[in-house]
Amino acid sequence: MRGGGTPRRDPGQTFHGMRDFEDSTLWRISEFERVRRLSGSIYTGQRETVFATTLQAELDVLGRKRGGGDVLEVMAALRRHREAALVYLSYERLVWPMTVFPVEMVCHSPRDLLDSSSLGMRTMRVLRVEPPGVLPPGHWKTERVAVTSRYRPLAPVLWALAMNGPRKDLLGAISGTAAYRTLHDGGGEDLPSPGPLGAALDRLQRGPVSLRELAVLPGMTLERASRLLNALYLVSNLMTTRAGPAARRPPLFGILRGPRG
């Protein structure tokens, strides 16, 4: 998967032991693992040395849970701590590197994650998380700002990962006995919510609703409701309440079923 031509060097694209990859290039997982075993690190350029202690502790815990590699939980942790990171994602048999900037709400990657296949996104997992090698657009350290075309809005990527990625249940931060509502309109051109999702957003905008109530709306299921709430949480458009009548309604215990497709 290599394109033609030789673009200028991008500080976020140095893969130790390999020539710089080009716009259309993703790495093979086998080569990624080989280089990591040999060098202990993939990126060899300038970077921040460590994560904040609290973020590192959370990433360590996530690495031991659910077999490790939960894409959505890692993205949620980066959003909560507002700390940038280079995240290596598995995509089919390839490695998809993406640098996430939660404060600026942009991301950097060689290709647009929104162009990935539905199967590839459904099976994505985190292989490794490192401090970033590039800085966001506009930073005064211009030598560490990458090619402008490789920066993209982060919100649509987070939305797509929540709605189409591997996780089917609620993120840990919003699970349990709770009621939910949106802080502002959740849809838009970059955050698609067609059909039943649009109706579910309308209900969330009118007032607190439980996961159970959301899941029994026409065209919704427990999985769809969970994915929608995860997406809203990741784009900072979800208020979670642990008290009140809606929050005290019993959970579904995973037995609810609804229309598919």
- List, for residues 169-224, the tens digit of each pLDDT value: 999 999 988 999 999 876 666 687 888 898 999 999 999 999 999 999 999 999 99
| pLDDT score of 17 | 31
| pLDDT score of 35 | 56
Side chain identity, residue 196: P
| pLDDT score of 204 | 93
Reading the block at residue 119, the tokens are 């199967």
| pLDDT score of 45 | 40
Q: What is the mean pLDDT of the chain?
A: 77
In this structure, are residues 128 and 82 in contact, taking their beta carbons and an 8 Å threshold? Answer: no
Specify the 3-state DSSP secondary structure of 109: coil
Task: Identify the segments of the chain with pLDDT beneath 50.
Answer: 1-24, 40-47, 253-261
| pLDDT score of 29 | 58
Cα separation, 171 vs 200, whole angstroms = 18
This model's pTM is above 0.75: yes
Query: What are 35-52's pLDDT values in tens digits?
Result: 555 554 444 344 455 677
| pLDDT score of 42 | 41
Specify the 3-state DSSP secondary structure of 226: helix
- Give the burial string for 5-33 (b: 16+ CB within 10 Å, else e): eeeeebbbbbbeeeeebbbebbbebeebe
